[in-house]
Amino acid sequence: MMFLTNPQVAITVVEKFAALTLFISGLEYLTEPKQLMDDGLISWRIGSLRQSWLAGGPVGKALDRILSYPSVLGIIAVYTLLAGVILVGPPDLIIQPWIILPLVAALGVLFLRSNYGYDGADQLAWIIFTGLAPVSIIATPTTQTIFLWFVALQVSLAYGVAGIAKATAKGWWNGSYLIEILGTQIYGRATIATLMRRNPLLSTLHSCFVILWECSFLFILFLPYPVVLVFIAAGVVFHLLNAYVMGLNTFVWSFIAAYPALLFCVQTRGW
């Protein structure tokens, strides 16, 4: 069954999943803001010292007004609210520049604040919305199609490069790295790590599957549509497992956000 062959429909689905990432992320910041305070690990007082132009001068002073605590909560509230509007809004509304541009501006200044606490889910959602900014201004089928190809390229690169990198490490092929990651406090679960250690074949098979699945994304835009559907279904399961085992909750939505772009490209590629 073919679906998501209309660029505007595909963009709407991409946008809603990416918005869900930001909505959850924004609520997480707003309910646990302590790390954003001056005495937190994501403090602007320290983060601004990374560059002289952030710490002083006219740009630094302007940023200080909006990125210091508690002003930064306003920025986060703005992007959370806009993400909420995108989540529930109709397709014609959520591609409007007056929705996308303030959202991109809010996210952009937040990325200037600190290098700590962000993850790949934040970055992919940020890239999706930054890419949508010019498309919201010049919204034609051509620009929408180019945007969807760009998002498809991002997800293809994301998994593909990670897969190639894993394939160069013996510890990934034999499953030992997976067991060790699962044994850490921050990304692990002791019960699953213990299960894997007692059944090393399980860990090896799991690791090999991840390597081959990730590497396949380098070629996904050239694969037959039914095969792509299988790889995407595997991706959904992969991210749900990571959310449970590793606590990577927003990766589910930010990477699923890219899948409609893949489906659009594969169905409309013309070869």
Partner 1 sequence: MVTNIGEVLVIGFFAIWSALCIVVYLPKINTFIRNIDYFALIPEWRFFAPNPGRHDFHLLYRDKFADGSLTEWTEIAPILHRRLLNMLYNPNRRRNKALFDCTQEFSKHVNVGDRALELAIPYLALLNYISCIPRSISPGFTQFLIMYSAGSLTEKDPEILYISKFHAL
Helix/strand/coil (H/E/C) assignment for every residue in 158-190: HHHHHHHHHHCCHHHHCCHHHHHHHCCCCCCCH
State the amino acid at position 72 in one-letter form: V
- Interface with partner 1 includes 157 (CB under 8 A)? yes
| Minimal distance, residue 100 CB to partner 1, in Å | 14
- Interface with partner 1 includes 123 (CB under 8 A)? yes
Which residue from 18, 63, 127, 266 is in contact with partner 1, where contact means CB under 8 A? Answer: 127
> For residues 233-267, b (16+ Cβ closer than 10 Å) or e, as one string?
eebeebbeebeebbebbbbbbbbbbbbbbbbbbbe
Cβ neighbours of residue 137 closer than 8 Å, sequence gap 6 or more: 97
- Interface with partner 1 includes 18 (CB under 8 A)? no
- Interface with partner 1 includes 62 (CB under 8 A)? no
Which CB atom, from 3 or from 38, has the smaller least distance to partner 1?
Answer: 38
| DSSP character at residue 5 | -
- Interface with partner 1 includes 49 (CB under 8 A)? yes
Q: Are 18 and 128 in contact (CB under 8 A)?
A: yes
* Residues 183-202 contacting partner 1, CB under 8 A: 183-190, 193-194, 197
Which residue from 38, 56, 61, 62 is in contact with partner 1, where contact means CB under 8 A? Answer: 38
> For residues 188-200, b (16+ Cβ closer than 10 Å) or e, as one string?
bbeebbeebbeee
Q: Residues 227-246 vs partner 1: string with x where CB under 8 A?
A: -------------x--xx--
Which residue from 62, 88, 93, 165 is in contact with partner 1, where contact means CB under 8 A? Answer: 165
Which residue from 135, 258, 261, 263 is in contact with partner 1, where contact means CB under 8 A? Answer: 135
Which residue from 124, 128, 261, 265 is in contact with partner 1, where contact means CB under 8 A? Answer: 124
- Interface with partner 1 includes 213 (CB under 8 A)? no
Whole-angstrom Cα distance, residue 198 to residue 11?
A: 45
Cβ neighbours of residue 12 closer than 8 Å, sequence gap 6 or more: 91, 94, 95
- Interface with partner 1 includes 28 (CB under 8 A)? yes
- Interface with partner 1 includes 97 (CB under 8 A)? no
Whole-angstrom Cα distance, residue 22 to residue 83?
A: 6
- Interface with partner 1 includes 102 (CB under 8 A)? no
| Minimal distance, residue 102 CB to partner 1, in Å | 16
